[in-house]
Structure formats: C-alpha cells, structure tokens
Structure 1
Amino acid sequence: MALLGVLVFGDLEYWLSMIKVITYVLFIIVGILVDVGAVGDGFIGDRNCFGSTELVGITAGESENPGKAIPKATRRTFWRIMIFFILSVTVIGLVIPWMDENLLDGQIACADHAINAILLLSVLLAGQSAYYALACTLMAMRREGKMPAIVGRVNSRGVPLYSLAPVTLVACVAFVADVVGTGVVFTWLVNLTGMPARLTWLSISVVHLRFRTAYKAQGRSIKDLPYITPFFPYSCYISFLLALMIAFLEGYQVVTADPFVVEDVITVFAGAPVFFFSIIGWKLYHKTKLVPLLEVDLDSDRPTIIQGISSDSQQQELRTEEDKEKEREAQLPRWKRTGLKVLRFIA
C-alpha cells in the first residue's frame, strides 16, 4: 500500500482505522454490559496499561494547513488515548480475571476470533505507519543534505521508492522466524525497536526545549505559535526523565536476567551506539558546533511548516473555503452535525 502514494495511503489509513476504532467502541460498550451483569457474570477484576503515539508531527509535511491541523490532532491525541486505550484496558480488567493466562474467559462466543482479526488489522496499520514515517524522515534528511540524492527520488505517483527500500529489507527478516525458532526473531525485532524509541523521545524533549528557549531568547512572543506545549518546560523535563528511566530499566532487565542471554543484550542496546555514532560522526566530519540561541534559524520553511501556506492569496482562499464549509454544516440537522463532530474526533 505504501507504493500507491500519499493520497491512497491517507484514504486507506482513514477507513481501516475507522474499522479499528468502531471495534474499540463496540468492545467498550459490550464490556460495560458484561461488567454490570447484562452479559456474563459481571465484575471480576481490573487491570491497567498505556499506549501512545508520536507520529502526529510527521504528517505536518503532508497537511494542507499544518498550523491548524497539527495542533488540533495533538490535543485530540490525549482523549483518544484515554478512551481507546485506557478505558478499553480498564474494561478488560473488569470483565476478565487477572488469573486467566489466556484472557479467554469473557464468555462471549466468537469474540476471540473477532479480536484476533482486528489485531491483524492493527498490525497492518502499524506496519503501514512505519513505512510512511521512514519515508518522510529520509526525505526530510535528504532535503537537509544528510542523505544521498538517490533517497529523494520519487516515481510518477510521488512515492519515494528508494526511501522505502530499507524498511522493506528489515521487514523481510520476519520471514526467517520459523527458521531460527518460534518467537525468537520477533523478540529480537521488538528489542531492536525499544531503545531507538526511548532515544527518539529524548531527542524530542531536548529539541523542543532548545526551540522554545531560542524562540524566547530572540525576543519572539510564544503566543504567535500555533500550538503551545502545556506545562513547559516541566513537560520536557518529565518526558526526558521518563524516557531515560525506561531505557535504563529496559537495559537493566536484560543485563540482570537469569539466565543471561547475550542475544537479548545485543538487540536491546544495538540502537544506542548507532544513534550516538551518527550524531558524533556527523559533527566530527562536518566540524559543526552547537548553535547559540540567538543564531538559531527559526524562519526557514516557516510559511510551509507553521502556516501551511505561503501567500496571502492562498491564506484568504483557504479561509473562504473553511467559511463555506462551516455555513454548509450549519444548515444540516442537529443529529448530522453531532455525527460529524464524533466522526472527526474518532477518525
């Protein structure tokens, strides 16, 4: 699907995600019915977990008006996590006993098969998002001169085939799982992605802290930004410390494991040397230094990234289209307007 272009990717992501989201909603409703005794035997336990996403910012380059779309998506992320992750996991804990190792005691016929199908769909969406994120990242690095020119080549549909090649090769590794042993390759792949994820959040925290500090040091008003991070700078400090703590505990767990497994240690820590070697190697080769706050470039690409449009006429045209859309929606019945709001929230 990644070869079909951004428009097809967006449509597929929208409708496939809609199926997943509807399943979440139905699962929560049915789970509450089980909890109160309408179905099954009612309340029998509790459990809690958390999941999140950090790929919202990558879509800024594909958005017509990122200055409006990205802040809205960022604010909604919190509530989507609360509803579709926290609430659904809480309902699981209320319905299924914690002692049930297989989590199959929900007493709803065929529910396991339906959930397995949705899990496969979720895996497909996760893989598709990985393709998209890697392609966008490599293309951005190419524009900054940090990747070879071949990475920036696209086909007639605008698909960066050479940017997709590396992740395709990595994905092929999964096909040797049965050769090495059941679950072994999967564990290696999971371990390999863990440390880079922590380092990514460490980088996000540091970069955002530097950006805001430089923005203020240059005498600019924070109110001019389309989105202002809540609780700054403490949110950056907390994010940095949490990512650092999780990375430390992840490493500590495999180092102190009994029995000691060399493969697990290598796969968990493999991302760290690659990360630091890339940074240190780039700085040594190009002899770059830390840019002073007063010299940080805050204006390059600003019209396309923050405002999403590059001219006054385009801005006026976009505002006119938005006004027309609001007028059309205002004429709809109340139930349709409510449905549109719900649809936009979950999708």
Structure 2
Amino acid sequence: MNEVAPATGATGRFLGFFSVLIYAAFTYAGIEMVAAAAGEAENPRRNVPKAVRRSIWRILAFYVLGSFCIGCIVASNDPHLLRAQAEGAPGAARSPWVIGITNSGIKTLPSIINACILTSAVSSANAFLYTGSRYMYALAQNRQAPRVLLTCTKKYEELPYQAPYDRAILTIGHRGVPIYCVLITALIGTLTYMTVSVAGNTVFLWFANLTTVAAMLTWISLCYAFIRFRKAQAVQGVSLDDPACRAYRPRFQPYIAWTTLTYFAVLVVFNGFETFMKGNWNVNDFLVHYIGIPIFAFFILFWKFVKKTKIHKLEEVDLWSGKAEVDAMEGAWEEPVAKNWLQKMWFFIV
C-alpha cells in the first residue's frame, strides 16, 4: 500500500487508505437520486423499493468487484499509471482499465472501454441534470427558492382519476418540465470549460472535492432525517408491522443510519487532512476541501433565524401527508408481465 508523504510507515499507509475512502465517497455519490425520481415514477410503491434493493447488487458488481479486478491487473506503482497521472493525461488515457488492457496487449478493447466510459459519463450527466432540476423545483415549492423556478413547459391541468378499487377521485397535476430549473442546472456544466486554462486533472480534483463534501453532507442530512423519522414512528406508535409500512423495511435500522452518519461526519472533518501535513499547506486546497461546510451551515442557520423555523417535536412530526394520494393510485398501475426470457432479463435489470 502506498504511503502519503511526508508520513511514513504505518501512519503513511493508513493515510493512504483513508484518502482512498474520500475519493470512493465521490464515486458512490448519487445513488440517493432514486428518491427524487419517486415523484415521477410509475407505481413508486413497487418500483422505488425494487430500485433500492437492486442498486445494492449493482454497487457490489460494478464498484466492489470492479475495484478488485482492476487492483489485480494494474499495480498502484504501474509506470504507465503514474506517468498518466503526473502528466495529467486527458480523459480515459489515465483510466486503470485502459492501462491494464494496454499492458495486456489487447489492441481493440481500449477503444471499446473509452466508448463505455463516455456513455457512462453522458448517462451520469443526464441523471444529475434530472435530479438537480427537481431538487431546485422542490425548493421553490417549499418557498426556499424564487417562485419563478416553478415555471414549467406545460400549464397546470387537473385530470380526474378514478381508482378502480375504491371509486375515489384523485386529482393529478401535470406540469411538464421545470424549464428554468433545468437550464440553471445545465449551465453549471459549463464550468468544465475551466479546463481550457487550467490543467484538466486539477479542475477534476476541484470538482471531485467540492461534490464529495456536498454529497457527504447530503448523506449526513438523510441519515439524520431517517433517524428522526424512525423515532417519530416509535413515539406515535406506528409499528413496522403496520400495513402502512409494508412497502420497504430496511434491515438493521437505525443502527446502519447511525453508523453511516458517523462515517460521513468523520470524512467531512478530515477530508482535507493532506493540507495540514508539513509542507503541504495551500489556501486554495483548504478552501476546496472545506468551503462547502460553512456554506451548508450558513443556509441552515439563515433559514432558521430569518424564517423563525423550529425543529418539530417527535409527536408532531407529520408521517402521513401524501400517503392517501399514493394509496388511491396504487390500484391503477398495471403489473408488467414478461412474455419471454428476454423480457424477464430486462425486468430483472431495470
């Protein structure tokens, strides 16, 4: 295991391992977006838990197994890898997969890997464009962002919906696409043109550090909200055996939530540890690693003191808003039935 200079020995190796955890957090960021898609998904009570469960297996297959495989074919001190990093090689040129395949003497496969990486990048950008715009739209709905962001490509129209099992009438609003939210989110992508004047590797590290801290703060917030949610259930006498909780029942909770919260809190505090090591102090690096924390705290405190908001007591937490609408729609979704083995495989994947 490589050491983080100037530390040596066991300390240097531990810091090397810890630094990998920080970049791993950047890689895993975004799996929470399945919750953002629930508002526009068909049959969310069935499909969202299904997507959550399958994401775990996909992480094990693509991330954990993939990392193990790449560690087997490319050494951390591989000269091609070190040279690509030192020279700031563009794009997939410094990808361990491409380097490993090149070392194996396979001529065509690196181009295929490059195409796969490009496809994955486009898919990731599309997913974050969707979630970013929806988060912004939700902020506007909660009056935490300008109301102009509620503008959509379609006017609001009320469509009567008749649930087949209880004859209840449900009003469904179709608002189209939040166009301003999408445009603002897309404009953030233009920051990548900073690579024109600054080394691409440096800009990538800037974005990686900033987004990693933001993602970890997001997960800390999610864990805290979930812990409060479970406590509110207990205080209000809502049992997990209640039919209302049948959609998704994660195991080992809330212990996993507490563990995750603690884990990310440690990473947030120490994510810029290299900046404080002897001879490594740099103001720009310090800001990149830690500027997200005061920004996060500022918005929370600003909203709390300016808007006079308060933390709800557990017995006052609203656990039921929106549930009636989902209940009314549940009987309307048609359960897809696979007609052949190809469809069975497709339904299993998606």
- TM-score, normalization by structure 2: 0.74
Number of the residue aligned with 2:344? 341
Residue 38 of structure 2: aligned partner: 60
Instruction: Name the aligned partner's letter for residue 218 of structure 2.
Output: T
- Given candidates 74, 79, 84, the residue that maps to 2:52 is 74
Native 8 Å contact 1:97 1:105 kept in 2: no
Counterpart CA distance in 2 for 1:268 and 1:139 is 28
Tell me if structure 1 keeps the 8 A contact 2:129–2:185: yes
From 222, 229, 234, the counterpart of 2:255: 234
- Alpha-carbon distance, 1:251 to partner: 2.3
Corresponding residue for residue 120 of structure 1: 118
8 Å Cα contact 1:191-1:268 kept in structure 2: yes
Q: Using the TM superposition, give the Cα deviation of residue 108 of structure 1 relative to its aligned residue in structure 2, in angstroms.
A: 1.6
Cα pair distance change 1:99/1:106, threshold 3 Å: farther
Residue 9 of structure 1: aligned partner: none
Higher alpha-carbon deviation: 212-221 or 254-263: 254-263
In the alignment, structure 1 residue 202 sits paired with structure 2 residue 220: yes
Q: SS state of the match for residue 317, structure 1?
A: coil
Report the residue type matching 1:121 in the other structure: T
- Aligned-pair distance for 1:97? 4.2
Corresponding residue for residue 184 of structure 1: 202
Q: Which amino acid aligns with 1:274?
A: I
**1:69 CA drift (Å):** 0.8
1:291 maps to 2:289:
no
Q: 1:117 to 1:192 in 2, by over 3 A?
A: same
One of 273, 278, 283 as aligned partner of 2:294: 273
Post-superposition offset of 1:181: 3.5
Q: Which runs of no fewer than 5 residues in structure 2 stay unpaired? A: 1-19, 82-98, 155-174
SS of the residue 2:272 aligns to: helix
Q: Structure 2 residue aligned with 1:140, among 138, 141, 145? A: 138
- Structure 2 matches for 1:253-264, cutoff 5 A? 253-256=274-277, 258-264=279-285
Structure 2 match to 1:317: 332
Q: CA deviation at 1:217?
A: 0.9
Identity of aligned residues (%): 29
Amino acid in the other structure paired with 2:134 = C
Structure ranking higher in helix proportion: 1
- Between the aligned partners of 2:124 and 2:229, the Cα distance in structure 1 is 30
Decide which moves more: 204-213 or 166-175: 166-175
Residues 1:89 and 2:67 are matched in the alignment: yes
CA distance in 2, matches of 1:284, 1:198: 24
CA contact (8 A) 1:217 1:293 kept: yes
For residues 94 and 262 of structure 1, do their structure 2 counterparts lie closer, same or farther at Cα, with a shift above 3 Å needed? Answer: same
Provide the C-alpha distance between the structure 2 equivalents of 1:301 and 1:180, rounded to a whole number of angstroms. Answer: 48
Deviation at 1:232, TM superposition (A): 0.8
1:75 partner amino acid: R
Query: Unaligned stretches of 5+ in structure 1?
Result: 1-46
Higher relative contact order (CA 8 A, sep 6+): 1
**Contact 2:43–2:330 (8 Å) recurs in 1:** no
Judged with a 3 Å threshold, the aligned counterparts in structure 2 of structure 1 residues 234 and 315 are, in CA distance, closer, same or farther, namely closer
Q: Would the alpha carbon gap of residues 191 and 94 (structure 1) be closer, same or farther in structure 2, given more than 3 Å must change?
A: closer
Question: For residues 297 and 197 of structure 2, what CA distance do their matches in structure 1 show?
Answer: 33
Cross-structure match for 2:149: 151
Q: Give secondary structure in 2 for the equivalent of 1:232.
A: coil
**How has the CA–CA distance of structure 1 residues 155 and 317 changed in structure 2, closer, same or farther, with 3 Å as cutoff?**
closer
The alignment yields a C-alpha RMSD, in angstroms, of 2.3
Are residues 292 and 174 of structure 1, via their aligned partners in 2, closer, same or farther at CA, if it must alter by over 3 Å?
same
**Which residue in the other structure is 2:230 paired with?**
212
User: Which of 191, 197, 210 is residue 173 of structure 1 equivalent to?
Assistant: 191
> What is the rounded CA distance, in whole Å, between the counterparts of 1:185 and 1:293 in structure 2?
44
Does the 8 A contact of 2:274 with 2:280 survive in 1? no
Q: 1:78: Cα distance to partner? A: 1.0
Q: CA–CA distance in 1 between the matches of 2:279 and 2:200?
A: 20
